[in-house]
């Protein structure tokens, strides 16, 4: 591992044929960042903001969120930082916010669905993000998008919030707005989504395509990232991105497991976001590809 790090961590990821592959990191807990040199990656491909919401003391206010987002941007030193809006529900319940008693929370009010149902909570996060957008290279990403209308409703709300901040005399901007591709309906209809960038959430996409839960041991063999239907959807989304010139990355755990990287690169994907501890290994696997 130390040898891998010495050889690969310091340089950009590239296939054997010399094709660059953007290699971002996933951030679940910003406390891990000070130990990571931002120069070892191309930026942050996914920040799970649930860390702000799952602690004691209720929902985080605008100031606390802004401080956390600004710290991430400062750490990255101009590299892009992708911050995902709250993805509560499913495997990430938040007491007092996610609904109790849903028969199947993975198919219920979660992710962007919940944010749109709770504009009082969502607006606070969008205000903090709009303020952070003037502090660095920010990309905002929406989880669990199913229909284009959800993306458009969010963009409209975001623009309203930016206008409000401007009227208050607070520095703010509209960041690039992208979406996770983790619901099969969205993957199949990808050309209908006017997102600035796309990131495939394979953890959820695999479970929704195979109808095998991501945390369900009894059907673990069916929960297969290499299932042909999964790879076909990834291939289509990657191809769409190339066609319209918008970035497509993949930030699910699949990208962090070197055994899946060749299949991912075979789909045409040329951007991944991995767990920081897997960065060197991923770069090594990419270098061996082709
Ligand atoms: C995913 O679904 O692949 C993903 C990256 O998001 P999460 O694991 O937080 O649902
Ligand atoms: Mg997900």
Report the nearest-CA residue for atom 6 of ligand 1: 201
Q: How far is CA 210 from CA 83, 127, 200, 263, in A?
A: 28, 37, 16, 18
Residue indicated by tokens 């976001």? 273
29 belongs to an annotated ligand binding site: no
Distance 202 CA to ligand 1 centre (A): 7
Mark whether 216 is an active-site residue. Answer: no
d(CA 182, CA 26): 16
Length of the chain: 290
- Ligand 1 cavity residues, CB under 6 Å: 46, 48, 87, 182, 201-204, 251-252
Residue 56, pLDDT score:
80
For 247, residues 6+ apart whose C-beta sits below 8 A from its C-beta are 22, 178, 197, 198, 241, 271
Provide the pLDDT for residue 288: 97
Q: Determine whether the annotation assigns residue 232 to a binding site.
A: no
Q: Identify whether the C-beta of residue 132 lies closer than 8 Å to the C-beta of residue 73.
A: yes
- DSSP H or E stretch at residue 12: none
Q: Could you read off the pLDDT tens digit of each residue along the chain, which spans 290 residues?
A: 888 888 899 999 999 999 999 999 999 999 999 999 999 999 999 999 999 998 888 899 999 999 999 999 999 999 999 999 999 999 899 998 999 999 999 999 999 999 999 999 999 999 999 999 999 999 999 999 999 999 999 999 999 999 999 999 999 999 999 999 999 999 999 999 999 999 999 999 999 999 999 999 999 999 999 999 999 999 999 999 999 999 999 999 999 999 999 999 999 999 999 999 999 999 999 999 99
Q: Is 27 helix (H, G, I), strand (E, B) or coil?
A: strand
Alpha-carbon gap, residue 46 to 275, rounded angstroms: 10
Which ligand is nearest the CA of 144, by number? 2
- Let me know: does 253 contact 202? Beta carbons within 8 Å: yes
Model ipTM over 0.90: yes
Pocket test for ligand 1, best of 204, 223, 237 (most atoms within 8 A of CB): 204
Identify the pLDDT of residue 118: 97
Ligand 2 centre and the CA of 114: distance in Å?
Answer: 14
């Amino acid at each position: 591992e130390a040898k891998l790090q010495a050889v690969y961590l310091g340089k950009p990821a590239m296939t054997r044929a010399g094709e660059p592959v953007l290699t971002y990191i996933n951030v679940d807990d910003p406390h891990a960042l000070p130990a990571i040199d931002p120069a070892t990656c191309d930026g942050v491909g996914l920040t799970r903001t649930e860390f702000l919401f799952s602690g004691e003391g209720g929902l985080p206010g605008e100031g606390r969120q802004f401080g956390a987002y600004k710290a991430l941007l400062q750490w990255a030193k101009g590299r892009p930082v992708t911050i995902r809006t709250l993805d509560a529900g499913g495997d990430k319940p938040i007491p007092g916010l996610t609904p109790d008693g849903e028969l199947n929370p993975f198919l219920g009010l979660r992710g962007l669905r919940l944010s749109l149902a709770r504009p009082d909570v969502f607006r606070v996060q969008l205000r903090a993000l709009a303020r952070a957008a003037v502090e660095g290279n920010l990309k905002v990403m929406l989880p669990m998008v199913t229909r284009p209308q959800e993306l458009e409703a969010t963009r409209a709300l975001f623009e309203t919030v930016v206008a409000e901040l401007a009227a208050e005399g607070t520095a703010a901007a509209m960041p690039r707005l992208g979406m996770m591709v983790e619901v099969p309906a969205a993957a199949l209809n990808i050309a209908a989504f006017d997102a600035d960038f796309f990131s495939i959430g394979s953890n959820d996409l695999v479970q929704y395509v195979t109808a095998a839960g991501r945390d369900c041991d009894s059907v673990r063999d069916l929960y297969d990232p290499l299932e042909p239907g999964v790879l076909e959807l990834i291939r289509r989304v990657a191809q769409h991105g190339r066609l319209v010139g918008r970035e497509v990355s993949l930030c699910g755990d699949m990208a962090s497991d070197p055994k899946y990287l060749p299949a991912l690169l075979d789909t045409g994907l040329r951007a991944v976001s991995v767990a920081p501890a897997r960065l060197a290994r991923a770069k090594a696997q990419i270098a061996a590809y082709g």
